[in-house]
Structure 1
Amino acid sequence: MLISFRVQNFRSFADEQELSMLAGPDDMHAGTLIESESGAVLPVAGIYGANASGKSNLLTAITVMKKFVVRSATEMNLGDRIPGMAQFRLDPELRDEPCRFEIAVVVDGTYFEYGFAATSEAVHSEHLKVRKRGGRLVERFRRTLDPETGKVDWAFRGLKKKDEAVLQERTRSNGLVLSRAAELNLPEFGELYLWFRKRLWSFDLSEPPRELAAITARETFLREEFRHRMESMLRDADLDIAGVAVKKAPPVIADELPTKVKNAIEEVLTENGRALEGFPVTTTHVDTAGNPVEFSLEEDESNGTQRFFAIAGPVLDALATGATLVVDELECSMHPLLTRKLVQMFLDPNLNGRGAQLIFSTHDTSLLDRELLRRDQIWIADKRQNGATELYSLYDFREDEDGGRPRKTESFARRYLEGRYGGVPSFGPMFEDLVTGRGEQSADE
């Protein structure tokens, strides 16, 4: 499970900002917390903020880190640019400095602190610290690049000399030690790598969810027990869906394409022996006579239903496996009460017995409810005057130097919309005049 994530000099983040999933001393909803070796952990965190405040950039940073860890050893070659590295551009001194990412997680009782700094051209530093259950924190390796000389300093602890030599020799300047070590099946690194690969999932629901829906459809087709849970979830969501069916079918390649182009597409789709297949989804409704009527999920169902189907698969699997689910714009096209139910699934210890987590960005202020979320589960992304994002939870927020944190009895939604916590738009005269009536008066004059 995720304990914390830190990011620096990435997109709208200039100084280091941290999202912590460790529960504070707040006594609200204590029964929803997850117990771990590092203490009580939050199962849910919601990120709020104005448009362009940086809340999506935070989730993008997590995604960029995951993709680089998973792909650097197997899908990148010498000389390839490192994808996703985007420095804070409003400070000239930071434009050529590396982006920095650090994560702390607990995997099956073992605590890991792992991070790296990189530009598009090279990894500048990388480190890993490990604490076994009941033990002390030990640094397993560190690499540091001298940009002036191009020399890399290496430090390892607890590895065989031959493994150290192989890692130094085979880790490219644009690749990660963690990724290379996992490719070499070094057991000291496998747990953390597999957490990135199999237990950290990220999705953007603001985009059409075709790829995500295809993944959910495939799992619904292959796993009968999963299909039963999907059907129950769709029925209980009050979408008037009585059942769901998934078939396997080859994807359609337009007939009007030249034969050579069609053959090239088929070759790409079937490379590495992967089957050329899709999984069209049919939902079943009941007409006024009580007869079943089939609908195409993609062609007949609403955007909200399509997005709910798409995200329902990862939600069910995360709850079953204890994965960490990161979702941008969770509420997109869905009713607020339905979004609330998704959040409640992660807050219910009876449903979330494996320590799954949901981290999401949203504009849905109905979730800013003290009956649902604790103060340390509500995070604000706010823009400073220099354009950089500041990240803080309501529990840590202070209205002024002498003020206390928001009271747990106050209306979080109302005070947020009033701008008391930050993270809301600061309008200029054109919009302010609409509120005060000065605009109409100026027009009449």
Structure 2
Amino acid sequence: MLLRFRVANVRSLRDEQELSFVVPPGQESDAARELRLSDGKSLQVYPLLGVFGANASGKSNVVIALKKMREAVLDSYAQWTSYQGIPREEFALDPKSVSESTFYEVDVVLDDGVRWTYGFELGSSRVESEWLHAYPKGRRQVWLDRDATRDNVFEFPGDRLQDRALLVRTTRPNALLLSRAAADNHPQLTKIHDWFTQNLWDISPETERSQREQFTADQLLDANTRGRVEELLRVADLGIQGAEVERRPGMSPRVRLLHESNSGEPVAFDWQRESFGTRSWFALIGPLLLALDRGAVLLIDELDASLHPRFAAEVVRLFQAPWVNTKGAQLVFTSHDPSLLKTPRGGRPLEPGQIWLTEKDGSGATELYPLSDVDPGPEEDLSDSYLAGAFGAVPRVTQGQIGRRVLTALAGEAERS
């Protein structure tokens, strides 16, 4: 499971920002799950976090930063060559950021209950630092300490890591040691590398939809998953009773959804007749179920971009429900839809600690903070307060301001002409 993610100098995330799934000490949560650690202690961990904010406030950059950390771990050894430099996207509004390093760090707990902290700093042409710490008995064990400014760049306190000399000799200055180790299936480090490849997935509802439609269709062909796919189609109140799916050798399956009719007999629609919202929801079902089955961390940018609010709320419920999310899957999503902050009956689908807000300061840098820091009242309507700007993270636009600016611009153009 993912406990925390820290990042600095990536896009609008100039200063170090942290996204945390861990319930702060002293706070109570009905949504959090108890995570047992290898040292016998436990943590309360949220199954999902939602990042809300105005357009261009940097909320998507939080998800993008996680994706870029994953890409670095997967690609640095095989794809970062010395003449290309290291791919980075520094904070663009301050020239000094180009000369400063980009920072990433995650805290994760693997299946054996051991907590690990892994991170690195990237310069324009080399890995400035890299570190790996383990906490098998609650105390920190330093497995790797890399610092490019030292004569002895790599240090391995405790000599816990195997093949140290080989790793030092074959790790390029512009590649991560973790990536190099995984290339040879290192017996100790590969499991850390695998967390990024097998447990950190990203999707966008508006991209790669055809591939995800085919993946969901394949799950309809599987007797073990078909019932759940059809149930999710029905529960979203689309008037769908089921689905027909036909195998086609060498081609993607043909799907026809069965819709309710006045006659009582379901009517099968050709796929092209389905609405954009229905197809977007169908394409999302397959990855959702796979993430739930494998206990993965799923990243969804702009959850509400192509989905009806009812569908977005259903995604939240899937990850929140312990009887559905039995493998400890986690979700990070971004949105600016305030309807996700309350139920139709006025309840709270998300606790304040699960709601994270993004707001830019005067220099254009993003600040990321949980709503729990604002300490909303227990009966406060989070949606209304959010829209009113009580928590920040909303556009600074007064009613009619945009229209007035358009009229002013038009008047100026008329005078110039």
Deviation at 1:93, TM superposition (A): 1.4
Deviation at 1:323, TM superposition (A): 1.1
Q: Which aligned pairs between 1:131-146 and structure 2 lie closer than 5 A?
A: 131-132=135-136, 134-146=137-149
String of CA shifts for 1:236-277, please: whole Å, max 9, x gaps: 222233214253554xxxxxxxxxxxxxxxxxxxxxxxxxxx
Q: Which aligned pairs between 1:88-107 and structure 2 lie closer than 5 A?
A: 88-107=91-110
Partner Cα separation in structure 2 for residue 291 and residue 30 of structure 1: 42
- Partner in structure 2 of residue 192 of structure 1: 192
Partner Cα separation in structure 2 for residue 187 and residue 225 of structure 1: 33
Partner Cα separation in structure 1 for residue 159 and residue 215 of structure 2: 38
Asked whether 1:331 is paired with 2:291, we answer no
Greater mean deviation of Cα atoms: 358-367 or 198-207: 198-207
Q: Which aligned pairs between 1:293-442 and structure 2 lie closer than 5 A?
A: 293-297=267-271, 299-369=272-342, 371-397=348-374, 405-427=375-397, 431=401
Indicate conservation of the 8 Å contact 1:101/1:117, yes or no. yes
1:117 alignment partner, SS class: strand
Deviation at 1:187, TM superposition (A): 2.1
2:99 alignment partner, SS class: coil
What is the aligned-residue RMSD (CA, Å)? 2.8
Indicate conservation of the 8 Å contact 1:220/1:246, yes or no. no
Greater mean deviation of Cα atoms: 371-380 or 223-232: 223-232
Asked whether 1:111 is paired with 2:115, we answer yes
Deviation at 1:380, TM superposition (A): 0.4
Partner Cα separation in structure 1 for residue 71 and residue 382 of structure 2: 35
1:174 alignment partner, SS class: coil
Indicate conservation of the 8 Å contact 1:142/1:154, yes or no. yes
1:320 alignment partner, SS class: helix
- Partner in structure 1 of residue 201 of structure 2: 201
- Partner in structure 2 of residue 87 of structure 1: 90
Deviation at 1:152, TM superposition (A): 6.5
Quick one: structure 1 residues 430 and 95, their matched pair in 2 at CA, closer, same or farther if it must change by over 3 Å?
Answer: farther
String of CA shifts for 1:153-173, please: whole Å, max 9, x gaps: 111145578711111122222
Whichever residue aligns with residue 163 of structure 2, its letter is D
Partner Cα separation in structure 2 for residue 162 and residue 302 of structure 1: 55
Greater mean deviation of Cα atoms: 11-20 or 419-428: 419-428
Partner Cα separation in structure 1 for residue 124 and residue 278 of structure 2: 39
Deviation at 1:183, TM superposition (A): 2.0
Indicate conservation of the 8 Å contact 1:375/1:393, yes or no. yes
1:93 alignment partner, SS class: helix
Query: TM-score normalised to the size of structure 2?
Result: 0.87
Asked whether 1:66 is paired with 2:86, we answer no
Greater mean deviation of Cα atoms: 240-249 or 343-352: 240-249
Partner Cα separation in structure 2 for residue 283 and residue 186 of structure 1: 47
Query: TM-score normalised to the size of structure 1?
Result: 0.81
String of CA shifts for 1:134-163, please: whole Å, max 9, x gaps: 3421111021223xx9x6611114557871
Tell me the percent identity: 37
String of CA shifts for 1:65-106, please: whole Å, max 9, x gaps: 1122123334555544444x1000111211222211111111
Partner Cα separation in structure 1 for residue 162 and residue 26 of structure 2: 49
Q: Structure 2 stretches of 5 or more lacking a match?
A: 413-417
Asked whether 1:51 is paired with 2:55, we answer yes
Quick one: structure 1 residues 34 and 161, their matched pair in 2 at CA, closer, same or farther if it must change by over 3 Å?
Answer: closer
Partner Cα separation in structure 2 for residue 288 and residue 62 of structure 1: 48
- Partner in structure 2 of residue 233 of structure 1: 232
1:46 alignment partner, SS class: strand
Whichever residue aligns with residue 422 of structure 1, its letter is G
